Structure formats: C-alpha cells, structure tokens
Amino acid sequence: MMKLLTLLIAGAALPLTSAAPASTAIVKDASSADTDASVAATLARSSKDIYPAKCPENVNGFNYTYPSTLWFYNLTSTVPGSSEVLEMAFMDLLPPNYNPRNAGNKEPQTILLLHGKNFCGPTWYAAATPLQKAGYRVILPEQLGFCKSTKPTQYSFNLTSLATNTRNLVKALGITKPPIVIGHSLGGMLASRYALTYPEFTKSLMLVSPIGLEDWKQLGVPDRSFDLLTGDEKSTTYASLRGYEQATYYPGAEWTEDFDKWVVMLTKVYEGDQKEKFWADQAHVVEMVLGQPTIHDYNKIKPKTLLVVGEKDNTAIGKVWSPPEVQAKLGHYAVLGRQAQAVIPDATLVSFPYLGHAPQIQEPEMFNRLLASWVKTGGRTLESLKLNATIIR
C-alpha cells in the first residue's frame, strides 16, 4: 500500500534575491581534497583512450573555464564506421587520498552525474564536491554534441548509444562497482535508459526533474522539420535562454546570479567557433527526445529509484510550436511525478510544491541534504530531513 507523507516546515523556501552580475567562469576549487584527487587522477590514466584535454579552456567550440581537471575519453573505436574522432569530455573527482592504481586502496562507490540539455558538467559541481569530500568518486561526463565534447556531424543520436558511451567510459576508468546514476532533465531521461540497458551495473537511480515522463508526440505535439529545429537552435540567444529558464526552471522566483551564470555559460556554446555543428547536434537531440520517451519503459526499471520533481516545472519539448489545446495538456509535473512513481517498481517520489525544473540550482543546500541521504541510505532517512515536500513511496 502506498505510503503518503507530507512534510512541511514553517517558512517553506526563503525568497530569492538579486545578486551581482554573472561571472563567466567558475573559480577553481583549491581544496586539499581536490588537489589530492587531481594528483591521483593523473596517476590513474593508463588507457590510451583517456587523456587530459588539450587547451581545456577553449575546446570543441566552448570557451569556458572548468572548475576541475578536464579529461577526454576517446570512444571512436566503439562507434562502428565513425569517420570522426569522438571525444567525450568529463571531470573525475576522486575522494581524498584515493589512488586507483594502488591495489591496496579499496574502490570507493562511484556516482555518475548526468547533465540536461541546457546544462553542462559544471552545473553539477556544487552537488559533486560534497560527495567527493564524503568519500565518493564522482564522475561528470558530457555527452557527444554538448559542452566540451566533440560536436559530431554524422553521429546517430539515440538514448541507448549515449547510455552505452557512458557505460564504456566507466569501464575504461577501471570501475568495477555498479555506480549510483543520477540525472537531471535530459540527463534524467538518459539515466533511466542507462538503468534499463545496464540494470546489473546500476546500484541505484535518482531522476531529478527528468524529461520523458510523458509522450509528447502521442499527446499531439506536431512534427517539426530538421531545418526548422536547427533554425530554433540558431536563433537562441542569452535573452531567449534567460526568458525560457525564468518561465520554466524558476517560475515565480526572483532572478539571481546563481541562475544567470549558467545562462552565460550556455550562451558561450551557442556562440562558439563550432556553433553550426552544435546547432545541428542539438536539433538531432530534440528529435531524439521527441521520438524516444522513456515513460513507456518505466515499469521495467529494476534499480531502486528516487524521483525528484518541482511542481512548478512546466517543461515540455515541442510545446512552443504546438496548438493551444495541446499546450494545455503538457508539462504538469505535479501530476507527472505521481504517475511515474506509480509505474516504477521500486520508486520513491519527493515532490516540491515551490520549485521548478532545476531544484539543485534553485535550492542547493536542501538538494545536497536530500542527495547525501539518498546515496548513503537509499532513501531510508528521507523523512527525517524535514523537507517542504510530499514524499510518496
């Protein structure tokens, strides 16, 4: 029988306030934990397919400084018939004093943090560093076509291939323990596909505001040509990104520098020196998302799952070009979260009435408490966190 717990604390969310103008880069974390991890990471690379990124500040059309060492995984040989070099960028945060090449070291629990469509690895960093310091190995991969990774011109984008690329990266790093897989937005959609494809190599699953909770085409979103989709990406600007994110990711919240810095970051990819390839890749990603909804397979997910949604979220790919009667049916996360939780065999839902599409950015302290509880206890202590949320098991 479903157990419903509504936990409320006085004051709910504190109001958000304005901050200084956005910076264009993240200050590098100079903590001893990060320093030790960087040294250990350097010692760990024995595969010719894994190497530090050259000119990491400006690579693959993205001029942006990352907060930790940037690595490449060359997955060209794993993609049959590829005529391009395919490099998957990632950050690898090792726990303090852990060296993967020392046989005497016990392998730590690995956590994968998968980014969304309008996000990159650094948007997870505030969540990743506390996990690293708590003794976890945290990997922040960036999928092909995104951020610092290769912008391919002939790649066939589908969720299973992206999941396979991620699995192959973990294998190339010599990780033998099944990771905890956490994904946000499109990364949540990908995380569920990863768990479906590799259930034996997924310890547990956390889906944060995932897309794919409804079948948009089935609900009436009309087809859109590749040329029009590419044109949509080409017309993307700082102003359009900020307007979209304010209405969808943070509805009702005052805009802050913590929100703005990620719009500034994303704009740099859209305006980078590989922008034409990026626009085309993102158009293919939209085609992939519309054509491969994961909700139909949720009943097959085997790992223990935590589903986190903000009830003010209204994300729906294709909504903007749909007729009004279709738009009215899409993106109701207060309902979608409950429907998904009911379908996944072993799932817990945490539903926040005051949050939008990016809870880890809008309420980072709260989110990190939730995240720490999940990775440590598998959800056994969620009720003690006193969240302003509805919890359904």
Q: What pLDDT was estimated at residue 121?
A: 97
Q: What is the mean pLDDT of residues 357-369?
A: 96
List pLDDT tens digits, range 195-207. Answer: 999 999 999 999 9
Of 137-151, 236-250, 287-301, 377-391, which gets the smallest average pLDDT? Answer: 377-391
The model's confidence at residue 184, banded by pLDDT at 50, 70 and 90, is very high
Q: What pLDDT was estimated at residue 103?
A: 62
Is residue 167 predicted with pLDDT exceeding 90? yes
List pLDDT tens digits, range 99-111. Answer: 877 767 789 999 9
pTM here?
A: 0.89
Q: What is the mean pLDDT of residues 223-240?
A: 98
Exposure of 241 in the CB half-sphere (CA atoms within 13 A):
22
Which token pair is 195? 């768990």
Query: Greater confidence, 43 or 327?
Result: 327
H-type alpha helices, 52-123: none
Is residue 271 predicted with pLDDT exceeding 50? yes
Under CATH, which architecture does the 47-377 domain have? Answer: 3-Layer(aba) Sandwich (3.40)
Q: What is the mean pLDDT of residues 85-95?
A: 96
Query: Greater confidence, 21 or 96?
Result: 96
How many helices and strands, by DSSP H and E, does the chain display?
A: 12, 13
Is residue 383 predicted with pLDDT exceeding 90? no
Of 46-50, 272-276, 305-309, which gets the smallest average pLDDT? Answer: 46-50
Q: What is the mean pLDDT of residues 206-223?
A: 97
Q: What pLDDT was estimated at residue 38?
A: 54
Which token pair is 92? 């690898």
- Chain-centre distance for alpha carbon 210: 9
Strands 304-310 and 204-208: parallel
Q: What pLDDT was estimated at residue 6?
A: 35
Which token pair is 311? 């009830």
List pLDDT tens digits, range 36-62. Answer: 555 555 555 556 899 999 899 999 999
Q: What is the mean pLDDT of residues 252-260?
A: 96
Q: What is the mean pLDDT of residues 78-100?
A: 91
Instruction: Compute CA distances 346 → 127, 222, 306, 391, whole Å.
Output: 24, 34, 9, 14
> What is the distance between the alpha carbons of residues 264 and 361, in angstroms, rounded to a whole number?
15
- Per the prediction, the chain carries an average pLDDT of 89
Is residue 252 predicted with pLDDT exceeding 50? yes
Is residue 13 predicted with pLDDT exceeding 50? no
The model's confidence at residue 19, banded by pLDDT at 50, 70 and 90, is very low
Of 217, 391, 228, 246, the residue nearest 314 (C-alpha): 246
Q: What is the mean pLDDT of residues 349-364?
A: 97
Q: Are 263 and 236 in contact (CB under 8 A)?
A: no
Is residue 2 predicted with pLDDT exceeding 80? no
Q: What pLDDT was estimated at residue 18?
A: 32
Of 5-19, 99-113, 226-240, 355-369, which gets the smallest average pLDDT? Answer: 5-19
Q: What pLDDT was estimated at residue 355?
A: 97
Q: What are the extents of the domains in the chain?
A: 47-377
Which residues face 184 on adjacent strands? 208
Query: Greater confidence, 306 or 102?
Result: 306
Q: What pLDDT was estimated at residue 31?
A: 42
Of 145, 192, 147, 139, the residue nearest 168 (C-alpha): 139
> What is the distance between the alpha carbons of residues 335 and 318, in angstroms, rounded to a whole number?
19
Q: What is the mean pLDDT of residues 139-151?
A: 98
Q: What pLDDT was estimated at residue 386?
A: 85
